[in-house]
A and B are shown apart, each in its own frame.
Chain A
Amino acid sequence: MYGDLGQKLVQHAKRTQSLAHLPPYQTEMVRAVTREVRDLDRDVSEILAPFDGAFDPSANPATAYTLLVHHLCMRRNKRCLLAYHRVRVQRIEEMCWSGVVQEDEAVDGDGEASGERNALSPEEEEYLRGYNDLLAAAKGTWTDIDLTGSLEPPKDLFVDVRVLKDAGEIQTEYGAINLTKNSQFFVRQGDVERLIQQGFLQKLS
């Protein structure tokens, strides 16, 4: 049936919205949908071929309806594709803003972050990089304000955090803190905000 695959893709996008992690890019499905569009287009061309550019819909309404259905199917498929990609793009931008995906060198080789990366298609990765650059450029203009920071004002100056992964020594405004696995710290919230976002630390309520 025409549009079945598109439907599937949209459902996939819908599911993505409620997932915590971005699922892998559905290359196969996207390709199948585009193939369907192309097939439809070919059909349309074939139907129109004998008329040689002088097709009168009122003369043979049956053909006209066929063409209309074909056209609507194509348009629907296109919208499905757009919807799917919009959801993905939104997620990618979100990732950039929340700082889950840092500049390239920070995540390379790290298990979880690269897992997130594998979910992206090459084009999406390109987009991510470009967006990150733009974001960095935008942030660069205002150095004294963290645009990607949390919008919620912190309740306490200090927080309890537990170290989930060895984060090594971090430099803070006043000195170094050595974050070793399996220990609990009581530290200034501002110092560890990023590490909490990146999943190195767990904030205790």
Chain B
Amino acid sequence: MYIPRSQFSSAYAHLKANASPSTNSVLILCALDIDSLCAARILAYLLKRDYILHQIKPVAGYQDLEKVNETLVKGKDELKFLICLGLGGLVDLSAFLELSREGEDGVECWIIDGRRPWNLYNVYGGGKCFDDGDIAEEMAREQDAHTLLSHSSSRPLGSSPPPLGARNDLIPTSPSQHLPSEPQLPPPKASTKTLRRKLRRLRRKHESTIQKYYSQGTWYGEPVSSLLYSLAADLGREDNDILWLSIVGVCSGETYGRTITSGPPRITGGGWGADTREDQIRGILKDEVRRLNPPDLNSTAAMSSGNANGVSGVTALQTTARSPSDTSIRISPEYRFMLIRHWSLYDSMLHSSYLGTKLHIWSESGRKRLHKLLAKMGFSLSQCKQSYTHMDMDLKRTLKEKLERYAPLYGLDGVVKEGFVRCWGWRGCLSAADVAYVVGGILEIGKGKKLGHKGVSADSNEEVSEEVGRLEEEKEVDEWITNFWDAYDSLTNVEQLKSALPIAMNLHRAILRTGTALIEKRQIRLLKAFRLAVVKEGPDLPVFTHPNALSKLALWISEAILEQEREASKRKHLPLVVASLHERRGVYVIVGTALGAEEESDDDSDDDDDELERKGGRNHFGIAFQDVANSTQARIRIDSFEATVVEVKKDDLAGFLESLSLNLNLQ
């Protein structure tokens, strides 16, 4: 079943009423990404206010989830609510966790996930999915099909081992198995045959509806933290802290290229004139910011007096708070340069994927182009290489105006975008996107580890034995979870955030280095159905063992390729697959991005508007990876909650890619 947005607060009230006051009856499982992290913090904040005892457990992947199931879920009578943040939307969770279904005293499983497609057994079966509107508005057909199909046949309960086969038990394998049993039908005397034929036709129709839903690929709906914000708002408990967490969660999607591609903007919601769902959500957040942080009358007075003095208002980026106790959130025009408040303008421009890819920063001429842009704007390089806060005041004031004038010459439209900034008194000022970069850095690399530090890989040439691989895996998961708590703590602690800034900088330096190397050496191979980049050497290899870090690299490369191709005025763009060698475990981590696919559908969207718009930005690699895993002998592990991330044994990479390209060609 699903919970529409209007029912969020009553669901929470239900939890509050039924949670046990003295034992841990609420377990929050949280995926290791920024969005879920922010959501977990919001939820914990709410629960704490109500004195509801709860446990938060970060989960690294399906394997980890199974372990958690063993230790924390199974056979625990006192557990009443299981809340999954940012995980499990893709598989049938109640079967995966073997929850007792429909039992009065059973565990109630809330699934709050931004990943799509929903597993229909979650939506119309045992789980309780928090719906951002997709289910209620767009999935009526799928609902009919699903209910009819699942009522007429007994479903194999958790029969196939997830996650690999998790999707298989949804797509009926053999029709005969699912034929409705005779007694269920009204006793037709004369024309059993025709009735049966009719039924079969109906069944085929419904099956194809469901098949179609799943075969769209994977995409993203509304971020989890935004859903939880609307819960908090429903309860009337929203404040700046919660709002900020939710803003960070929403902004983090951008850094991974996870735009919300559920469909066109809602008609019902606020935020008029929004072009996409993403803009709409941002619009709502902006309204909330304005509501919770009313503009100070004094400061506007000061601004106007500034104007009277001939100084044009506040055009420089805000880098300090207005007063020591100023912790408000503001909407400000943000440049699409990363970490600009804490870096130099030059570095910030160089490393941001938006600008870097547009200017072809990987080549010598690209760098010259950047220098030229700065020269045209009248910014000396020595000034630009200083830290931004120490740049000349005049330059800072004119930066926006100059950029808006000269950027279009380089195809940099929309370089200035509305963003969010929060100040913590005199202690610092960070924009939401920067926080997302920093927290992402902590999650992916961690505080302790040195970048460029080589793992224990004395025997890198030899095959890593099973045993060692498993140990390394466990160690890695442990490390990720330590990082999760570091990130959890620093999310509300500005000092820790500031101290973690260098991590994010290093990560993006590594991305620029690696991306440049790949393009310069022409190591991105063009295959029939996709492009392939393999990272298997270099000092930055250990950085990209985390799938999310690899996604960032993939985003950078794919944007670069897109830019190149757009200039060559190619209409058809291919998706990109990036593989990175994990030396210590002897596997390749592989990420598939859909950026190319999105463009493709944009180009010829006139012929069948509705259908194509629905499909825009969908990532087909999830399905392809599963198919390949099922059809080949390659040792493949799909563990990540992200469907488009997969691990393949070092020796099996070639075979994997071969069948992948075969698979994609067929599609």
Contact = CB atoms under 8 A, between A and B. Distances in A.
Interface of A: 157-158, 160, 162, 172-178, 180, 182-188, 204
A182 B71 CA distance: 13
B71 A174 contact: no
Given A175-B20, A176-B23, A184 B48 contact: no
Interface in B462-485: 478, 481-482, 485
Contacts of A177: 23-24
B293 to A, nearest CB: 26
Grouping DSSP codes into helix (H, G, I), strand (E, B) and loop, the A interface class, with mixed when no group exceeds half, is strand
A185 B72 contact: no
Contacts of A185: 24, 53-56
28 contacts: A157-B51, A160-B44, A172-B22, A174-B20, A174-B22, A174-B23, A175-B20, A175-B23, A175-B78, A176-B23, A177-B23, A178-B71, A180-B57, A180-B71, A182-B481, A183-B55, A183-B57, A183-B58, A184-B55, A184-B56, A184-B485, A184-B488, A185-B24, A185-B54, A185-B56, A186-B55, A187-B24, A187-B53
Interface in B49-103: 51-58, 71-72, 76, 78
A182 B48 CA distance: 19
A188 B21 CA distance: 10
Name the residue in A160, A176, A177, A186 with the highest tally of chain B Cβ atoms < 10 Å from its Cβ. Answer: A186
Contact of A186 (B44, B57, B478, B489): B44
A155 to B, nearest CB: 14
A176 B78 contact: yes
A180 B481 contact: no
Given A162-B485, A174-B22, A188 B53 contact: yes
Given A175-B20, A175-B22, A175-B78, A183 B48 contact: no
Given A178-B72, A180-B71, A186 B58 contact: no
Nearest to B54: A186
A159 to B, nearest CB: 10
- Which 8 A-B pairs have CB atoms at the shortest separation, nearest pair first? A174-B22, A175-B23, A183-B57, A184-B56, A182-B481, A185-B55, A186-B54, A177-B24
Given A178-B71, A180-B72, A186-B48, A173 B22 contact: yes
B53 A186 contact: yes
B29 to A, nearest CB: 10
A178 B76 contact: yes
A187 B24 CA distance: 8
Contacts of A173: 22
B47 interface: yes
A106 B19 CA distance: 33
A60 B21 CA distance: 87
Nearest to B478: A182
Grouping DSSP codes into helix (H, G, I), strand (E, B) and loop, the B interface class, with mixed when no group exceeds half, is mixed
Contacts of A188: 22, 53
B53 A158 contact: yes
Nearest to A202: B485
B485 to A, nearest CB: 7
B15 to A, nearest CB: 14
Contacts of A175: 20, 22-23, 78
Contacts of A178: 24, 71-72, 76
A12 to B, nearest CB: 33
Contacts of A204: 489
A176 B48 CA distance: 20
Given A178-B72, A183-B58, A185-B54, 12 more contacts: A173-B22, A174-B20, A175-B23, A180-B57, A180-B71, A183-B57, A184-B44, A184-B56, A184-B488, A186-B52, A186-B54, A186-B55
A171 B338 CA distance: 50
A160 B489 CA distance: 12
Contacts of B57: 180, 182-184
Contacts of B55: 183-186
Contacts of A183: 55-58
Contact of B47 (A157, A172, A186): A186
A180 to B, nearest CB: 6
Contacts of B51: 157-158
Nearest to B40: A184
A180 B69 CA distance: 12
Contact of A158 (B48, B58, B71, B72): B48
Name the residue in A162, A174, A176, A183 with the highest tally of chain B Cβ atoms < 10 Å from its Cβ. Answer: A183
A157 B56 CA distance: 19
A145 B488 CA distance: 37
A65 to B, nearest CB: 63
A33 B54 CA distance: 57
Interface in B481-496: 481-482, 485, 488-489
B447 to A, nearest CB: 16
Contacts of B478: 182
Contacts of B22: 172-175, 188
A182 B20 contact: no
Contacts of A184: 44, 55-57, 485, 488
Nearest to A177: B24
B71 A172 contact: no
Name the residue in A160, A176, A178 with the highest tally of chain B Cβ atoms < 10 Å from its Cβ. Answer: A178
A142 B321 CA distance: 55
A121 to B, nearest CB: 37
Contacts of B72: 178, 180
Contacts of B482: 182
A77 B53 CA distance: 58
Interface in B1-40: 20-24
A114 to B, nearest CB: 24
A198 B469 CA distance: 34
A41 B481 CA distance: 63
A204 B488 CA distance: 12
A173 B478 CA distance: 32
A192 B311 CA distance: 60
Name the residue in B20, B52, B56, B488 with the highest tally of chain A Cβ atoms < 10 Å from its Cβ. Answer: B56
B58 A182 contact: yes
A53 B21 CA distance: 83
A204 B21 CA distance: 21
A182 B483 CA distance: 11
A69 to B, nearest CB: 57
Contacts of B56: 183-185
Nearest to B29: A183
A177 B55 CA distance: 10
A172 B20 CA distance: 14
Contacts of A180: 57, 71-72
A174 to B, nearest CB: 3
Contacts of A158: 48, 51, 53
Contacts of B488: 184
A173 B55 CA distance: 18
Contacts of B52: 186
A170 to B, nearest CB: 11
A186 B23 CA distance: 10
Nearest to B67: A180
A177 to B, nearest CB: 5
A172 B57 CA distance: 21
B60 to A, nearest CB: 10
A87 B47 CA distance: 46
Contacts of B78: 175-176
Contacts of A174: 20-23
